[in-house]
Amino acid sequence: MVKINENFLTMKKNYLFIDIAKRLKKYTEENPDKQIIKMGIGDVTLPLAPVVVEAMKKGADELGKKETFKGYEDSGTGYDFLKDAIAGYYKSFGVSLNSSEIRVNDGAKSDCGNIVDIFGDDNVILVTDPAYPVYVDSNTMAGRKIIYADSNEENGFAAMPDKSVHADIIYLCSPNNPTGSVYTKAQLKEWVDYALEQGSIIIFDAAYEAFITDPELPRSIFCIEGAKKCAIEMCSLSKTAGFTGTRCGYTVIPDELTVTASDGSEVSISQLWSRRQGSKFNGVSYPVQCAAAAVFTPEGQKQTREAIAYYQRNAKLMAETLDDLGIKYTGGINSPYIWLKCPNNMGSWEFFDYLLNNIQVVGTPGEGFGKNGAGWFRLTAFGTYENTAEAMKRLKELLRK
Ligand code: PLP
């Protein structure tokens, strides 16, 4: 008889955004004339930059000619032209990487989930709460012990390490989804020191690094001394350059990152990951890699920065509205997310329904990201400016009453 992975039975039946979509569908069916503004799912709304589209077309054209056709990519880890471009980008904020340390993928979510393959199931996993769901879900599927570090109002939604508690694998995300908080260099140094002391590995999710405007804030964990001995970084072009539907990201595994196996041998994490990928992943399509490389050209940077500035303008408007209403929040600066305290002590699903029913604005209930999200709510700045302005107008009218 077939046996399923019973760890799935311990999980909530639906992924958070499926629950939201269901409520939304019911509301739309019952209220077909209402104009809903979606500020829930963190998907972008602006199109790809022209320079990116051109590069993708050129890549596709090359595949259509005998002389330039390409089949499987030899390494499956990304073409050198893209890995060199990414290494050059890291250099621009002071991080030196070998191209071989960069692995191109089809988005950060895949690697955030897949990385569990190379670590034993008896590791203790530490996740900050609230968190982007894939860290908890992928480890729950593998039946691992997960412990939590609280991110809450008291610590400004920046969970810090507790030296009296041991963890083997630590997931950190900065700028954070959902809270929009960003670790300072000093705070990240504490995490790196903790990991080095405990012999742990940090999986650092930098999917929103491009939204950091304060030059003092670290855009990569590798800005921190010692991190190459204890960290893996995952990043994505989804929010940086509108690749949510195009799919391209990258994972950085430093050459010097090793772990001692039970037989005493020193094992390279990079080699383990290569072995895993060699068996289970055949690389990212050539036109998409061409498009991704275009993001890192001077013109690509200029054009994609314009889109980021557009979303930042939305975030500023949202932050000003909440300031005006006297509502507490984190994020909005150096982040496309605003994490606000539900007014009048409402629960986060209660506030979700309140906004949907009264002003047809959809956000994400904080509780969906972990227990510390109770009473908090996430709004994204990825909408159009017009919709954001309209949503903020409606919010002001509703909450001023
Ligand atoms: N990491 C974080 C924190 C995210 O919020 C997201 C997407 O919303 C991802 C990773 C995954 O991005 P993608 O798979 O589109 O690269």
Find out whether the beta carbon of 114 lies less than 6 Å from any atom of ligand 1.
Answer: no
First to last CA, the chain: 61
Euclidean distance between CA atoms 202 and 220, whole angstroms = 12
Find out whether the beta carbon of 360 lies less than 6 Å from any atom of ligand 1.
Answer: no
Burial code (b: 16+ CB inside 10 Å, e: under 16) for 178-192 equals bbbbbbeeebbbebb
Ligand 1 centre to CA of 294 (Å) is 20
Find out whether the beta carbon of 249 lies less than 6 Å from any atom of ligand 1.
Answer: yes
- Residue 177 CA: which ligand 1 atom is closest? 3
Q: Do domains 13-42+300-399 and 51-296 have the same CATH topology?
A: no
pLDDT digits (tens, 9 = 90+) for 48-73: 999 999 999 999 999 999 999 999 99
Ligand 1 centre to CA of 235 (Å) is 8
pLDDT digits (tens, 9 = 90+) for 280-299: 999 999 999 999 999 999 99
Ligand 1 centre to CA of 70 (Å) is 29
Q: What pLDDT, on a 0 to 100 scale, did the predictor assign at position 42?
A: 81
- Residue 249 CA: which ligand 1 atom is closest? 16
Q: What pLDDT, on a 0 to 100 scale, did the predictor assign at position 400?
A: 85
Q: What Å distances lie between residue 337 and 383, 396, 400, CA to CA?
A: 11, 19, 23
Q: What pLDDT, on a 0 to 100 scale, did the predictor assign at position 373?
A: 97
**pLDDT of 137 higher than 80:** yes
Choosing from 43, 236, 339 the residue with most ligand 1 atoms within 8 A of its CB, the one to mutate for a pocket test is 236
Mean pLDDT of 232-247: 98
Q: How far is CA 54 from the centre of its chain?
A: 27
Other Cβ atoms closer than 10 A to 215: 7
Find out whether the beta carbon of 173 lies less than 6 Å from any atom of ligand 1.
Answer: yes
pLDDT digits (tens, 9 = 90+) for 259-271: 999 999 999 999 9
For 13-42+300-399, CATH gives 3.90.1150.10
Taking all residues of the chain, what is their mean pLDDT, rounded to a whole number?
A: 96
CATH fold of 51-296? Aspartate Aminotransferase; domain 2 (3.40.640)
Euclidean distance between CA atoms 56 and 194, whole angstroms = 43
Bridge partners of residue 341, in order along the sequence? 376
Using alpha carbons only, what angle is made at residue 374 by residues 368 and 378, rounded to the nearest 5 degrees? 60
Ligand 1 centre to CA of 250 (Å) is 11
Which residue has its alpha carbon closest to ligand 1 atom 16?
Answer: 107
Instruction: Give the residue from 36, 43, 26, 137 showing the smallest Cα distance to 368.
Output: 137
Find out whether the beta carbon of 109 lies less than 6 Å from any atom of ligand 1.
Answer: yes
Mean pLDDT of 178-184: 98
- Residue 108 CA: which ligand 1 atom is closest? 16
Ligand 1 centre to CA of 130 (Å) is 15
Ligand 1 centre to CA of 326 (Å) is 30
Residue 401 confidence class, pLDDT cut points 50, 70, 90: low
DSSP 8-state symbol, 200: -
Find out whether the beta carbon of 133 lies less than 6 Å from any atom of ligand 1.
Answer: no
Which residue has its alpha carbon closest to ligand 1 atom 8?
Answer: 42
Find out whether the beta carbon of 237 lies less than 6 Å from any atom of ligand 1.
Answer: no
Helix (H) or strand (E) holding 22: helix 16-30
Residue 41 confidence class, pLDDT cut points 50, 70, 90: confident
Ligand 1 centre to CA of 398 (Å) is 32
Specify whether the CB–CB gap between 254 and 231 falls below 8 A: yes
Q: What pLDDT, on a 0 to 100 scale, did the predictor assign at position 17?
A: 80
Find out whether the beta carbon of 132 lies less than 6 Å from any atom of ligand 1.
Answer: yes
Choosing from 110, 114, 115, 238 the residue with most ligand 1 atoms within 8 A of its CB, the one to mutate for a pocket test is 238
Ligand 1 centre to CA of 260 (Å) is 30
Mean pLDDT of 327-350: 96
Ligand 1 centre to CA of 356 (Å) is 25
Q: What Å distances lie between residue 115 and 61, 254, 274, CA to CA?
A: 34, 14, 11
Find out whether the beta carbon of 341 lies less than 6 Å from any atom of ligand 1.
Answer: no
Mean pLDDT of 185-210: 98
pTM equals 0.96
Ligand 1 centre to CA of 108 (Å) is 5
User: What is the token pair recorded at 7?
Assistant: 């760890």
Euclidean distance between CA atoms 258 and 278, whole angstroms = 19
Which residue has its alpha carbon closest to ligand 1 atom 11?
Answer: 109
Residue 18 confidence class, pLDDT cut points 50, 70, 90: confident
Q: What Å distances lie between residue 39 and 314, 377, 382, CA to CA?
A: 11, 11, 7
Contacts (Cβ under 8 Å, ≥6 apart) of 47: 242
Longest dimension (CA), the chain: 68
Would you kindly state where each structural domain of the chain is located, as residue ranges?
13-42+300-399, 51-296
pLDDT digits (tens, 9 = 90+) for 91-113: 999 999 999 999 999 999 999 99
Rg (CA), the chain: 21
Bridge partners of residue 250, in order along the sequence? 104, 235
Find out whether the beta carbon of 236 lies less than 6 Å from any atom of ligand 1.
Answer: yes
DSSP 242-308: S-TTT--EEEE--TT-EEE-TTS-EEEHHHHHHHHHHHH-----HHHHHHHHHHTSHHHHHHHHHHH
Euclidean distance between CA atoms 247 and 244, whole angstroms = 6
Find out whether the beta carbon of 378 lies less than 6 Å from any atom of ligand 1.
Answer: no
Indicate the Cα dihedral angle 281, 287, 292, 298, nearest 10°.
Answer: 160
| 3 state DSSP class of 336 | coil
Instruction: Give the residue from 145, 138, 187 showing the smallest Cα distance to 167.
Output: 145
